[in-house]
Amino acid sequence: MLQFLRQSLLYSLILVLAVSCKTYKLTEAKPVPSSEKMVENLYFSSGEDYVYKCQMDIYKNHVSGILIIKKLNETTHRVALTSDFGNKLIDFEISDDNFKLNYVLPDLDKKIVINFLKNDFQQLLKREYPVSESFESNNAKIYLSKIENKKYYLFFSKENNLLKQIIYTKNNKEKIDFTFDAKKTIFADSLNLQHKDFKINIKLFQITETE
Question: pTM for this one?
Answer: 0.86
Core vs surface per residue 63-87: b (16+ CB within 10 A) or e? bebbbbbbbeeeebbbbbbbeeeee
Neighbouring C-beta atoms of residue 168, cutoff 10 Å: 23
- pLDDT tens, residue by residue, 135-177: 999 999 999 999 989 999 999 999 999 999 999 999 989 999 9
Q: pLDDT (tens digit, 9 = 90+) per residue, 4-28?
A: 444 554 454 444 434 445 788 888 8
Q: What is the pLDDT of residue 95?
A: 96
Number of folded domains that form the chain: 1
Q: Tell me if 120 sits within 8 A of 202, measured CB to CB.
A: yes
42-70 residue pLDDT tens: 999 999 999 999 998 877 778 889 999 99
Whole domain around residue 103: which residue ranges? 2-208
Mean pLDDT of the chain: 87
Domain containing residue 74: CATH number: 2.50.20
Maximal C-alpha separation, the chain: 53
Query: What gap in Å lies between CA 196 and CA 103, rounded to an integer?
Result: 29
pLDDT given at position 209: 53
Mean pLDDT value across residues 67-84: 95
